[in-house]
Structure 1
Amino acid sequence: MSTPTYDVVAIGNAIVDILAQADDAFLAAEGMTKGSMQLMFSPGEADALYAKMGPGLEASGGSAANTVAGIAALGGKCGFIGQVADDQLGEVFAHDIRSVGIQFDTAVRAGEPTTARCLIFVTPDGQRTMNTFLGASQFLPESALDRTLIADAAILYLEGYLWDPEEPRAAMRAAIEVARKASRKVAFTLSDTFCISRHGDDFRKLIADGLIDILFANEAELLALAGGADFEGALAQVSAQVPTLVVTRGEQGACAIQNGTRGTVAAQPIAKVVDTTGAGDLFAAGFLHGQAQGHGLDASLTLGAICAAEIISHVGARPQVDLKALAASRLG
């Protein structure tokens, strides 16, 4: 097996986030479930909700893209595969991800629909409620895969959000085959309970077939995947099927079981939770970077907690401080 050039190559939705403050009454009036993500299925629906937003902050996002941006900020070498349209938002996304040193060469898609966007409403308690129009991202074809890039990465990272549309689902299955043939690891994030409600059987089969090396979930997603209400039971059930299971638990920190060994980490203290957008994405960034650098389970969990704490201390899902320096100061 050749030595990989890249630490992590991710495949995910190429999205531009638009964040604005909102209160619980607004969420209720719009029929949103606080703290969740729901899909919008037409540009008109997205435009109508956008018109109701207050002043917003525009920033490139997307779950897996946020993760590799975090890894790059820690000093890792990353690539990203995702579909944008030939429009202004597509140019914004491409500029932002390349500007932090991530390899991004997916060809733009001509015509409709537009580049994906996520309208994020942040309530005063820091919770984010997301409304996503997947746009061009849901048309990522298998032909867009850079197989050489995938085979040249220590870890292939996939997001559950992108499993919903048929075309990128097929592309991700093909990417798993490429990574497996190259003897690379495959990491997968369940993304949201709604993804499990729609594609849980697919996810369970990927796990049962031994195609996932590192699985990320939050507590609710773990319970949904296992089909039970008992956390410890769900943890034991799923961890028996994957080499590494990582579960984030909000203010309770996170735990992981790797080849039968359990590790835990407390949430890093911060002055105030401003915006939880990207918390799981950046936890994954820290953990994956630790694993790619050969760190042990506890050090990787701690690095994840450090990155998650930084991201929830401000609005937006991309780091705003020198993560590499922050991690060095906290890890010692």
Structure 2
Amino acid sequence: MTGGSRVLVIGDVMTDIIVMAEGALVRGSDRRAAITSRPGGSGANQAVWLARMDAPVDFAARVGASDRRMYEAYFRGLGVVPVLAGDEAKPTGVLVTIVDPGGERSFFTDRGANLNLCEDDLTPDLLQSIGFVMVSGYSFFSPGPRAAVVALLAAAAGQGVARAVDAASVGFLEEVGAEAFLSWTKGADMLFANEAEALLLSGESEPQAQMEALGQHYAQVVLKRGAAGAMLGGRDGIALSLAAPAVEAIDTTGAGDAFAAGFIALQLRGGSAAECLLAGIEAGSAAVQQIGGQPVDAG
């Protein structure tokens, strides 16, 4: 890692429409629900959680031009330094989340302006004072953003800046294919993946085999296992496994983002592997006990 002290997060900004249904959907008819609107997006969530944990963080993304000033003020108010491009052609992305009574969620995604993130938005000068780059996997799922983040990650590698990737979405991973995603992200210092993402990317069903397979591509692998806790390892398999506390899950939106933020924030402060993994688990556990992907008082 270079001498930089800041984290640069790259990812989506979304408006999250969260639908908390009282029961299963009734096709062609009504179901009562509590509906809320909150700022979201995987990259935005990570940046806000990092700032909440006192990590110095910059956040690069693209929003609708009419929303740019509002989002800049929003992020600054939460301790995040925004580096936002305003898009004249597309509006800010929107995500509709359907949360079932058990806390599991399904998404309808319109990524909007995020699809136009480009190399002009992610110039190498963003790396000044940066010691860690965190990229949401969503940025790899469309050609324009992918070219931009691949170029910036290459520049970061050339400057000795640590690089982490969050796999982000098993649905979009299935669309682009595991082999392609691995080729775009190979060599990153760290991969964050949940159980479904690890299965798809590795082709293995057991955590030990997943670690060994993914460790061929990344220096360090962190498996987020929800209520079962988390694991840390690499090409030699599982090095550390910790359980999660039993909590009541209200909404799992953003739990993985909070986990990654907790892990990275403590790593920047020199925490041990066990301390970093525990910090990630604690942040993820806190996230599932609230509605929305960012700290409950952030919006």
Among 210, 221, 244, the residue aligned to 1:267 = 244
* Unaligned residue ranges in structure 2 (runs of 5+): none
Question: What is the total number of aligned residue pairs between the two structures?
Answer: 295
**What is the aligned partner in structure 2 of residue 329 from structure 1?**
none
- Determine helix, strand or coil for the equivalent of 1:142: coil
Moved over 6 A (4+): none
**What is the aligned partner in structure 2 of residue 290 from structure 1?**
266
Whole-Å separation in 2 of the counterparts to 1:121 and 1:316? 11
**What is the aligned partner in structure 2 of residue 39 from structure 1?**
none
Structure number with higher strand proportion:
2
- Note the C-alpha offset of 1:233: 1.6
**What is the aligned partner in structure 2 of residue 85 from structure 1?**
64
The amino acid across from 1:236 in the alignment is: E
Whole-Å separation in 1 of the counterparts to 2:59 and 2:166? 15
**What is the aligned partner in structure 1 of residue 12 from structure 2?**
13
- Note the C-alpha offset of 1:14: 1.3
**What is the aligned partner in structure 2 of residue 306 from structure 1?**
282
Whole-Å separation in 2 of the counterparts to 1:4 and 1:192? 30
Q: Give the share of equivalent positions with the same residue, in percent.
A: 27
Indicate if the aligned counterparts of 1:190 and 1:216 stay in contact, CA closer than 8 A. Answer: yes
Q: Tell me if 1:154 matches 2:131.
A: yes
- Note the C-alpha offset of 1:221: 0.7
Whole-Å separation in 1 of the counterparts to 2:253 and 2:265? 20
Whole-Å separation in 2 of the counterparts to 1:53 and 1:288? 39
State TM-score, norm by structure 2. Answer: 0.91
**What is the aligned partner in structure 1 of residue 4 from structure 2?**
4
- Note the C-alpha offset of 1:265: 1.5
Whole-Å separation in 2 of the counterparts to 1:23 and 1:146? 46
- Determine helix, strand or coil for the equivalent of 2:86: coil
Structure number with higher helix proportion:
1
- Note the C-alpha offset of 1:194: 1.9
Correspondences of 1:160-239 after superposition (within 5 Å): 160-199=137-176, 200-208=178-186, 210=187, 212-239=188-215
**What is the Cα-based RMSD across aligned positions, in Å?**
2.4
Whole-Å separation in 2 of the counterparts to 1:258 and 1:230? 14
Correspondences of 1:97-176 after superposition (within 5 Å): 97-110=75-88, 112-176=89-153
Q: 1:170 to 1:303 in 2, by over 3 A?
A: same
- Note the C-alpha offset of 1:259: 7.4
* Unaligned residue ranges in structure 1 (runs of 5+): 31-51, 323-332
**What is the aligned partner in structure 2 of residue 245 from structure 1?**
221
Q: How far does the alpha carbon of each residue in 1:165-187 deviate from its partner, in whole angstroms, 9 at most, with x for none? A: 21111110111022112110110
State TM-score, norm by structure 1. Answer: 0.82
